Structure 1
Amino acid sequence: MHKLIFTMDLAQSSELIYGNLQLVYPGGKPVDYLATSGCADWQRPGDEWVRGKGPIPAGEYSIPTEPYWLDTRGVEGLFFHITPDPVVSVHGVRAELGVHFDANYPGTAGCIGIIREFGWRRLCDRVASIANLGVKSLSLTVKY
């Protein structure tokens, strides 16, 4: 089964912290992409529930293999919508999260942003190939 795994070390930092989005193929072969989630100075443990600034909360999610176009500043391109949406806990609510290219200002409002444009294009191509196999969605695990 194809799957995605996002990992990042949360810490106090005024600099943007980078992590890794890994696409894992059924045979176990991984492909890594430099990625981030959240904004600089909002990537500490506990910031996952700060709307519009903190990283995506740890957990199990899903993304469709068919993205849609989103004109929202910071995305302005293809967007793989993460579900469940919203994510609700005793700590708060996060909504409208996705996987996209980290356009314009570095960092995201809680989405997983791919840092390098070439990597983003390759991820989109690989996910399109997976979709052509009849796969409708990919599991996404977020770990800190």
Structure 2
Amino acid sequence: MHKLIFTMQLAESLNLICGNLQLVYPDGTAIDYLATSGCANWQRPGDEWVRGKGPIPAGEYEIPSEPYYLETRGVEGDFFHITPDPVVSNKGVRAELGIHFDANVPGTAGCIGVVREFGWRRLCDRLASIANLGVKNLPLTVKY
């Protein structure tokens, strides 16, 4: 089964922290992409529930293999909508999360942003190839 795994070390930092988004193929082949989630100074443990600033909460999600176009500032392009939406816990609610290119100001409002444009284009190409195989959705695991 195709799957995605996002890992990042949450820490106290005034600088943007980057992690890794990994696309794993059914044969175990894995391709890594430099990615981030959240804004600089909002990537500490516990910040996952700060709406609009903190990283995506850890957990199990799903994304479609085909994106839709979003004109929202910071995305301005293809957007793979993460479900479930919203994500609810006793600590808060997060909604409208996705995987996209980290456009404009570095960091995201809780989405997973692929940092390098070339990597983003390659990920989109690979997901399109997976979609062409008839795969509609991929599981996404977020770990800190």
**Cα distance between partner residues in 1 of 2:17 and 2:49:** 17
**Cα distance between partner residues in 2 of 1:66 and 1:105:** 25
SS in 2 for 1:125: helix
**One-letter identity of the residue aligned with 2:98:** G
Q: Which residue of 2 aligns with 1:84?
A: 84
**One-letter identity of the residue aligned with 1:5:** I
Q: Which residue of 1 aligns with 2:26?
A: 26
Q: Which residue of 2 aligns with 1:69?
A: 69
Superposition deviation, residue 100 in structure 1: 0.1
Q: Does residue 88 of structure 2 align to residue 106 of structure 1?
A: no
Superposition deviation, residue 94 in structure 1: 0.0
Point out 4+ residue stretches in structure 1 off by more than 2 angstroms: none
Stretches of structure 2 lacking an aligned partner (at least 5 in a row): none
Residues 115-126 of structure 1 aligned to structure 2 (within 5 Å): 115-126=115-126
Stretches of structure 1 lacking an aligned partner (at least 5 in a row): none
Superposition deviation, residue 80 in structure 1: 0.1
**Cα distance between partner residues in 1 of 2:89 and 2:114:** 26
SS in 1 for 2:120: helix
**Cα distance between partner residues in 2 of 1:38 and 1:46:** 12
Superposition deviation, residue 40 in structure 1: 0.2
**Cα distance between partner residues in 2 of 1:74 and 1:105:** 7
Superposition deviation, residue 3 in structure 1: 0.1
**Cα distance between partner residues in 2 of 1:102 and 1:31:** 18
TM-score by length of 2: 1.00
Q: Which residue of 1 aligns with 2:5?
A: 5
SS in 2 for 1:134: coil
**One-letter identity of the residue aligned with 1:75:** V
SS in 1 for 2:125: helix
SS in 2 for 1:126: helix
**Cα distance between partner residues in 1 of 2:36 and 2:73:** 17
Question: CA RMSD for the aligned pairs?
Answer: 0.2
Q: Which residue of 2 aligns with 1:93?
A: 93
